[in-house]
Amino acid sequence: KGRNVIVAAVVNGGGATDFCARFLDENDQPITGLTVSLQSP
């Protein structure tokens, strides 16, 4: 519970750039009810 911060770096080697993350529980099942914010705390 509470705020968790995920920091990632993407190195662009040319061409299109994407970033993807998958959040799973301890049983490798997708976590539901996540809220994502792109605002700085």
pLDDT tens, position by position, 12-30: 777 777 777 888 888 999 9
Report how far apart, in Å, the C-alpha atoms of 14 and of each of 4, 7, 8, 11 are: 31, 22, 18, 9
The model scores a pTM over 0.75: no
What is the domain count for the chain? 1
Quote the CA–CA distance of 31 and 25 in Å, as a whole number: 6
Give the rounded percent of residues in the chain with a pLDDT score beyond 70: 93
Domain that holds residue 2: 1-40
Mean pLDDT taken over the chain: 80
